[in-house]
Amino acid sequence: MSAIALSADAGLVALALLTVNILLGLLISVRYDPLRSWPHWRGDIFDLHNWTGYVALAAAALHPLPLLVSQRVPFTWTQILWPAHAPQQPNANLIGAVSLYLVAVVVLTSYFRVTLGRRRWKLLHFASYGAAALFFLHSLLLDPEMLNRSIDWLDAEKVFVEICFLIVLVATLARWQYGQRHPQRLRVTPASRYIPGFSRRGHDLD
């Protein structure tokens, strides 16, 4: 497997994890209880949401590194960190770098959400939607073989990205509609701050 192919595959893994992470976040936002509802799971969905975020960030950060040893399209460390002058598709790669840094902000500030306060951290958390949009855009625009070809929308990798994007889009719209129809269920109260079936180890779900 070439360095470019390895980088592309790692990017798809990061995209899949980011998709799962967003879906879990949407479930948490509607007070979904996995113990009462399917799959009647006693685990902590909040921890699962956090860990998918950590692993997605790691995968996204690692995925361009194989390009450092690519013989056909070698990148430098500077071009990895800020690919405005990358040897191939600098604009698409720059979009990917910005999305990575937004994901890093969201994930790393989750450690300080109590210190930041619910409202401030929630505003920061909305950056995850911008990060996801940029990550999807990066994945769609970039030629996975770094040949600067036109986009093949029916390529298997592009179809995977398109499916993930549609899933997130439909889930986000469904979450918005749910909030419009049942605003009282999403209102923050002392009783709704924690949900049965979730771990109560200091997790503020709001």
| CA-closest candidate to residue 141, choices 152, 129, 156 | 152
pLDDT given at position 35: 66
Alpha-carbon dihedral of residues 13, 95, 118, 193, nearest 10 degrees? -30
Domain boundaries, the chain: 3-186
SS3 for 127? helix
CA distance 21 to 8: 20
Q: Which pLDDT band, with edges at 50, 70 and 90, does 166 fall under?
A: very high
- Global pTM reads 0.83
CA distance 18 to 49: 10
pLDDT in tens, 20-42: 999 998 888 887 777 676 666 67
pLDDT given at position 185: 63
pLDDT in tens, 106-138: 888 887 888 888 788 888 888 888 999 999 999
